[in-house]
Amino acid sequence: MSELDPLLRDKVKMLGKMLGNTIQASQGREVLDSIESIRKQAKRARGGDSDEREQLLTTLKNLPEETLLPVVRGFNQFLNLANIADQQHGSSWRRAEALQSGLDTMFPDLLERLDTAGVAVDGLSERIASLNIELVLTAHPTEITRRTLIQKYDAITRLLQQRDDLHDEHPLLGELDQRLARLIEEIWHTNEIRKTRPTAVDEARWGFAVVENSLWAAVPQMMRDLDQQLLARGGSVLPLDAAPVRFASWMGGDRDGNPNVTAQVTREVLYLARWMAADLYLRDIDTLGNQLSMAAASAELRRAYPNDPDEPYRACLHALRSRLVDTKQWANGCIKQQETSGNPLTRDDELLEPLTLCYRSLLEQGMETIADGQLLDTIRRVACFGVSLVRLDVRQESSRHAGVMQEICLYYGWGDYLSWTEDEKQTFLLRELASRRPLVPKHWQPSAEVREVLETVAVLATEAGDGVSCYIISMASEPSDILAVALLLQDAGVREHFPVVPLFETLGDLQQASLRMSKLWAVDWYRSYCEQRQQVMIGYSDSSKDAGQLAAVWAQYQAQEALTRTASDAGISLTLFHGRGGTVGRGGGPAHRAILAQPPGSVAGGLRVTEQGEMIRFKFGQPDVARRNLKIYVSAVLEANLLPPEPARIEWREQMTRLAERGVASYRAMVRDTPEFVRYFRSATPEPELGKLALGSRPARRKAGGGIETLRAIPWIFAWTQMRLMLPAWLGSDEALDDCQQQGDLPVLQQMYQDWPFFRTYIDMLEMVVSKADAAIAQYYEARLVEPELQLLGSQLRQRLDKVKTLVLAINRQQALLDSHPILRDSMAVRDPYTDPLHYLQAELLYRERQHPEIVSQLVEQALMVTMAGIAAGMRNTG
């Protein structure tokens, strides 16, 4: 901890002391002393003292049941507070490295490099405006923290920011510290674990809250930063309607494997978004109404609002305000399925045009400073969020659409759709797409599953459906999967050219993606339908679970290359949609490096990327943090398009192909072909107990029972993270890299690391995740929970983990893990003495629950759930 920024160290100490005072007041001095004693033992044990480790384990095993929960909660809350301090300090102007921060200087540094490369600054504002970046907020079940606690954590962040703005002797410091202490006490007396699973609508409301509390302020701030830096380099400001970054959401639209997302849920979420957007704009309009009291106005504005010549701006805003009020009433009525009246706003231009009219008038009258204040911020928000706030993606699994076609064909006596060849399916679908008669029979009674699909596409045909951005087909494998959805949308009367997005996610589908899209783009009807624009989603989670991380990342890279080439040859403007998660095992990692590691030319048509649960809070939960992260996306995509990296050398690609082939064989040999692997996984990890956590609206499994293949990628990774083996991120890469080294190719790997951004990013992510792995902790889980005959397998896995650590260091030529990332290394060092006891306690609690489930008390159950939350906080990116 001594190597941390001193101010950050002081913040962590201050919050820890306040938490200690709260625990003492609530639980007594004895409990606080117990927590502190355990922390010191854990710190000494982490330093290599085996006697202290044994004493620590003895202490934890013998904790009285009534002490278990407060001890676990104490460690959990300290980790949450340390995370808050760490994150807030990362954007503080008072941090030690503030003036040298690469994140803060990334965009101006890029402008300088573009200038050096001969890229004229004159056209940059138009290039930035056309970047077409869309961040898609998802609610995957790894965000353990309750929303009420998130709000309190956000309040602590704001208070820490206020403290940074005051000098050390400022009289207000005492008041701020009192408010901090009060918040920590409120947190302590609030249950960490949800009692009930959130609904899909609850998740959507959480997504709207992120917009309200952070992104609403961050977007115009980010645009101001870009404008100022462009002007400083002699360029021009961004166009008024520029929105280089927009937002979409899966919350309430992602029904793949989630029976809780119904057509009614999607409909309700769409109208809630309209209501929330109107409410936020009303606040802006009320502020502008107070500001724009001037009389001088353009003839254009006076003609539009002739009834109030003394205050024409307020006349305009009053009319807009009335329509926003109508919009809220309309949206609320639609949610309740009640008749409404009034004149709601249903299109973005209805909101944007009056505001830009006021803006032009102020400029004409010489009031540029006023125009470029709150009014410009509101215009920027409208350009970004529109009347829908966030556009909703609808996602469904391909077999559900095939099921609709099957029932329709059987009803009409047309045959067995599911048994047809791909060519037969395409012929049928194209014939029906050209037909003028309805596809779905009027008085037909389909199965419940088919009815749900039809009701969903019916929602897309309503006014609410205007807020839906696209229809994503997961497990897409053939052109018929896309044509079937296009037919259902057409038959329901959904707007023309509605985007249909195939999602290729298994290894086989990624390898065939380009060929299948080529076949689709060769269909004249579809080329006309998509208007030569196509979005294709690349799956990260399922491909990694299917083939291992090494083979998956190479398949994803090659799929992007091939799709980019094929789209160019077909005259299609392609946007790739990256289904990344928070962890390395799900494609996670720093956004800037991840984007620059993509194949050259693959982001020319823009970039869509998912941002999930906990990572939304870490990256976009606070306005200043969100502003910086949004600029990272803008900088990276601009750089990838204007200063693309050199294509990879042929010998590197050949080496990568060999590595991937060895990696997938090694991974599958363990996960699929080792008989005892599934038993070991379920014994050594808390996977069987994860279902007790009310994590999200989606079930952990696609279907009940089955093996690893039925488990979703998120709980698969979450479970391994809890016991610190981190297996999904490295299994397979160990043997592949070792084989390469044995054949004398280490110098080639070192050169690839040095000169190929893709490979460097992969190895850096591998380094990060294995630095978080801990063989000693994994072994303790095994010793406590796994039958003796399975423990040999665990020993083999830990040896393989050690091997991959050695290989990473050989490739990046470092002496120790994270030598080149000292901030992350020191941050983990701060958390270890608090995370380690939670691991040991979790193993102990799992042992008690599994040995004697009939006598496990509610206190033990709750303590187990809290250990999961605490370890997730300590690991940061858990699923």
pLDDT confidence of 711, banded at 50, 70, 90? Answer: low
Output DSSP code: residue 96. T
Q: Which pair of structure tokens corresponds to residue 756?
A: 């190929």
* pTM of structure: 0.91
And the tokens for 163? 């403290």
DSSP one-letter code for 309 = T
CA 68 to chain centre: 33
Instruction: Specify the higher pLDDT residue, 876 or 24.
Output: 24
The Cβ of residue 145 has, within 10 Å, a number of other Cβ atoms equal to 19
DSSP helix/strand/coil, 95: coil
Chain Cα centroid distance, residue 223: 22
Tell me, what's the pLDDT at 857?
84
- The answer to whether 619 is a known catalytic residue is no
Asked whether residue 91 carries a pLDDT value surpassing 60, the answer given is yes
| Neighbour tally for 234: CB within 10 Å | 11
What pLDDT is recorded for position 87?
Answer: 81
Comparison of pLDDT for 799 and 96, the residue scoring more: 799
**3-state DSSP helix/strand/coil % of the chain, to nearest 5:** 65, 5, 25
Q: What is the pLDDT of residue 699?
A: 54
For position 94, what pLDDT does the model report?
Answer: 55
Lowest mean pLDDT among 70-79, 583-592, 739-748: 583-592
Exactly one of 545, 578, 592, 805 is catalytic; name it: 545
The more confidently predicted of residues 168 and 768 is 768
| Percent of the chain residues topping a pLDDT of 70 | 93
Per the structure block, which two tokens stand in for 855? Answer: 């006598």
Long-range CB contacts (within 8 A, 24+) of 757-762: 757/593, 757/596, 757/597, 757/645, 758/557, 758/597, 758/598, 758/599, 758/648, 759/652, 759/656, 760/597, 761/589, 761/593, 761/594, 761/596, 761/597, 762/550, 762/553, 762/597
- What is the reported pLDDT for 109? 93
Average pLDDT estimate for 713-729: 89
Asked if residues 865 and 686 have their Cβ atoms less than 8 Å apart, the reply is no
> Is 140 a known active-site residue?
yes
Q: What is the mean pLDDT of residues 642-653?
A: 93
What is the overall mean pLDDT for the chain? 91
Whether residue 609 contacts residue 136, with contact meaning beta carbons closer than 8 Å, is answered with yes
Segment 463-484 shows an average pLDDT of: 95
Q: Cα angle at 395 between 394 and 401, to 5 degrees? A: 110
CB 379 within 8 A of CB 359: yes
Judge whether 455 and 263 are in contact, CB under 8 Å.
Answer: yes
> What average pLDDT does the segment 638-658 reach?
95
- Encode burial over 717-742: b for 16+ CB neighbours within 10 A, e otherwise: bbbbbbbbbbbbbbbbbbbbbbebbe
Q: Which pLDDT score is estimated for 144?
A: 56
Q: What is the pLDDT of residues 375-412, one digit of tens each?
A: 999 999 999 999 999 999 999 999 999 999 999 999 99
The answer to which of 57-71, 355-369, 450-464 has the lowest mean pLDDT is 57-71
The Cα 746–Cα 742 span in angstroms is: 8
pLDDT above 60: residue 273: yes
Categorize the per-residue pLDDT at 3 as very low, low, confident or very high, splitting at 50, 70 and 90. low
User: For residue 873, what pLDDT band results from cuts at 50, 70 and 90?
Assistant: confident
Closest among 514, 538, 519, 506 to 479, alpha carbons compared? 519
CA 683 – CA 601 distance, rounded (Å): 46
Strand, helix or coil for residue 803: helix
> Is 50 exceeded by the pLDDT of residue 879?
no
What one-character-per-residue DSSP string does 156-204 give?
A: HHHHHHHHHTS-TT-THHHHHHHHHHHHHHHHHTS-SS-SSPPPHHHHH
CATH superfamily, with its number, for domain 263-385? Phosphoenolpyruvate/pyruvate domain (1.20.1440.90)
Q: What SS3 state is found at 582?
A: coil
* Count, residues in the chain: 879
- Active-site annotation holder among 11, 89, 140, 328: 140
DSSP state, 853? G
pLDDT of residue 214: 94
Least confident segment among 428-437, 705-714, 716-725, 810-819: 705-714
Kindly report the backbone phi and psi dihedral angles of residue 246, in degrees, each rounded to the nearest multiple of 5, phi listed first. Answer: -125, 175
Range with the poorest average pLDDT among 137-141, 266-270, 383-387: 137-141
What pLDDT sits at residue 855?
79
CA–CA–CA angle 387, 391, 397 (5° rounding): 155
| Residue from 146, 160, 245 nearest 196 by CA | 146
The pairing of strands 245-249 and 500-504 is unpaired
Report how far residue 803's alpha carbon sits from residue 739's, in angstroms, rounded to the nearest whole number.
12
Does the pLDDT of residue 2 top 50, yes or no? no
Instruction: Give me the residue label for tokens 């419940």.
Output: 448
Q: Indicate the Cα dihedral angle 628, 629, 631, 635, nearest 10°.
A: 130
Lowest mean pLDDT of 101-115, 140-154, 332-346, 405-419, name the range: 140-154
- State the DSSP code for 701: B
Q: Compute the distance between CA of residue 227 and CA of residue 220 in angstroms, rounded to an integer.
A: 10
Q: How far apart are CA 567 and CA 25, in angstroms?
A: 65
- State the pLDDT at residue 616: 86
Q: Which of 451, 487, 450, 447 is nearest to 471 (CA)?
A: 487
The mean per-residue pLDDT over the stretch 299-303 comes to: 96
Express each pLDDT in 94-132 by its tens digit: 555 444 446 678 899 999 999 999 999 889 999 999 999
User: For 130, which DSSP code?
Assistant: T
pLDDT for 675-703, tens place per residue? Answer: 999 999 999 999 998 877 655 555 545 55
533-563 pLDDT tens trace: 999 999 887 788 889 999 999 999 999 999 9
Both structure tokens of 215: 């992104």
Q: How many Cα atoms sit within 13 Å of 509 on the Cβ side?
A: 23
Rounded (5°) CA angle 162-165-170:
95
Boundaries of every domain in the chain:
263-385, 660-820
Instruction: Report whether 402 contacts 363 (CB < 8 A).
Output: no
